[in-house]
Structure 1
């Protein structure tokens, strides 16, 4: 029985057999996001052919869903007029994101043929700092006036709605563009046509400043549960809106950045398959080099206690267990604190409460681990009680130290302006390894010297 073909294979077959009419009919019945996903699985040349066949009213929508490298390839392959037409039909924030990654000569060529309104919108967005609310907002929204009637408002929505990012919420502004209220479309639909907007609008408006960090903007969406929020300048003049699809992208970007930092990798704004070998090497090498140099302190500590190790060779066997347990305990604490700082659940002023909590948790964990280890050392490893006691006491102290380091370092980093994610597993593990050895050898030297 012949296997059913995937939609990508069906489209590729129609493309290769030049059944363009049937292909156009097929893709016209598909969702634009699905078309973009299918094009993403094709070679660049096939993807470009597909794009040229798209109906004009779908082209810009499909283009917005494509990956950045696919967008760049298509833009470079189109004529100046075709490329400018795509840019004109994109939402301003999407067009700005694309042009920010394009070579200057290509951007100049495209903008030269774009409409004056598109150029003005893109230049307006490009002036805001990267990762600010102003840089990710869109300027396409429906604005109303207080003195409008509901009937007037609906007429304006019909006029501007087609080119707006969303029409679910409309924004009431003065002649000077001062934001004074909002009104939902569904509310307009149930009100009498002669009602005045100023009488029915919601005046308790939550807005975002253009200079607000994009991560803080995403947290505001999470807090208030909005699907769109207005963006205002320092004089509360409305300049754009941020929509929930932008927030999803921000959250994905920020989460990826934190994960990479926590794994001691320099963050990259490209997906893994698109990052070249040399670029991957450059992203990973600095931290590996730093951590390797830091780890030499561990070797120096072992060297300084050579006499103790020579007298009690059995101690060497438990070094990996102590270091690994300490690193794991520290990582648990650091990840919890980094997450709390990221979500604004905790702040630096809470440090003493956090230390007190982590020390109690560490004591319980350390006692449990030490107890289990003590039984194992005596029963299975057949160690003498003093040696087993040294290992287990060290284990308890190491867990306490690791939890303390793991909770404090991210908070201190946050306080002095560093990203707390930098103080994650690799850094914590390196520090805890050195401290673990110092504790272990000092306890062993003192206890075993007295007992044995």
Structure 2
């Protein structure tokens, strides 16, 4: 209904009615409409100019960088500065990080010296650090204030802050001393001193802390906000849950891409160029292609056995596929467990023990079923049926162990565990499966093979 009404008013050029409807709608819905609107690019600019300052800032923060760039390109310096002044500081930094240098320069030229220095400081933080995620718009209270003084202060500041659920208690040098929730303040007596009701065991990160460590804290303790301090224990900002959710989504997307053997990309699929997609996939496919030549080398090494017993070749695809799938199952579960903090690198023996038992149970089931299939349905020789079924079981056990331990090994070497997922595990297991298969075949048929 909202979408059709906006399109109708744009067509009629009824800007007064359009402005009235837009400013009564939620910023998320407006941003979604702008993002999906494809009929006329100028209409997007018209819609944006009709929004009041507060709503325009919220809508702008929800748009992707391409749309933000189009909107900024149509603005005068004063209009742009007015818009950025309405943004929360972390949203403004996120915007600048995605913009080309000429836009950043244009923005900084309109800032006062102290603000320009602060923006430059935030832009200099490492991309994956807590410092790059934080905002300076947080609620702080002095330790010697009363509850009455604190609530008066909160009422004055509430309009400029992203969250007031938690206030951070600081001393005269802005050192972090503790935190206190708004609920605690409201339930305390007016004359109570903040230092006496605050929580002193406050969780925090530093500006250089990796964002993955911050994610772990948010998940483990169900946080909605996390303070950030510098190396001198001075409170410099906070990370809010909405920013952390975005980071978690980015991390998950990156892990999925690595697990599928692709170079990570921050661009949306439909927004990415064909060249970019091909480039992100080509290198990993090339690496896997080269590594897969080991499989061909192994087959070539034992081709005389295959020539003498062609029936052995028929089982190779099944052994390789089953081994690869079994390894992928284990690696996926272990990678997920590590991402959620359920599995640590020191748990490698526990992982091996668990995957060994799982592998044995799966191997026995698959081995018996395959033996019955080959012996009684396909009418294969007893030895052949045993050879393939035993190898299948052994490959499954090995694949489970390899798939379980490789991600932990990668983490130990300070690599991303996601790279040790499906395609790479499959390549390793394939080579091991073939070698095992032919060794067992040589042992069982040494009396008939000319080797």
Give the structure-1-normalised TM-score. Answer: 0.95
Shift, 1:203, TM fit? 2.1
Aligned residues: 447
CA distance in 2, matches of 1:31, 1:268: 30
1:19 aligns with 2:14: yes
Query: Compared with structure 1, are the counterparts of its residues 299 and 389 closer, same or farther at alpha carbon in structure 2 (3 Å cutoff)?
Result: same
Shift, 1:451, TM fit? 6.8
1:439 aligns with 2:431: no
Shift, 1:397, TM fit? 1.3
Note the 1:354-433 alignment, pairs <5 A.
354-433=351-430
Deviates more, 1:420-429 or 1:399-408: 399-408
The root-mean-square deviation of aligned C-alpha atoms, in Å, is: 1.6
CA distance in 2, matches of 1:51, 1:116: 29
1:124 aligns with 2:117: no
Q: Is the 8 A contact 2:371 2:389 kept in 1?
A: yes
Aligned to 1:203: 200
Aligned to 1:114: 111
CA distance in 2, matches of 1:205, 1:442: 60
CA distance in 2, matches of 1:337, 1:361: 13
CA distance in 2, matches of 1:352, 1:240: 40
Aligned to 2:227: 230
Note the 1:145-160 alignment, pairs <5 A.
145-160=142-157
Q: Is the 8 A contact 2:54 2:86 kept in 1?
A: no
Shift, 1:57, TM fit? 2.5
CA offsets 1:52-90 (integer angstroms, 9 cap, x no match): 111222111111111222112211221111111111111
Q: Is the 8 A contact 1:366 1:400 kept in 2?
A: yes
Aligned to 1:325: 322
Aligned to 1:50: 47
Aligned to 1:258: 255
CA distance in 1, matches of 2:153, 2:306: 83
CA distance in 1, matches of 2:364, 2:190: 73
SS, match of residue 449 in structure 1: coil
Aligned to 1:7: 2
Shift, 1:194, TM fit? 2.9
CA offsets 1:389-413 (integer angstroms, 9 cap, x no match): 1111111111121112111211111
Shift, 1:148, TM fit? 1.8
- Gapped regions of structure 2 (runs ≥ 5): none
CA offsets 1:303-343 (integer angstroms, 9 cap, x no match): 11111111111111111110000001111111121122222
Aligned to 2:62: 65
- Gapped regions of structure 1 (runs ≥ 5): 1-5
1:347 aligns with 2:344: yes
Q: Is the 8 A contact 1:142 1:170 kept in 2?
A: yes
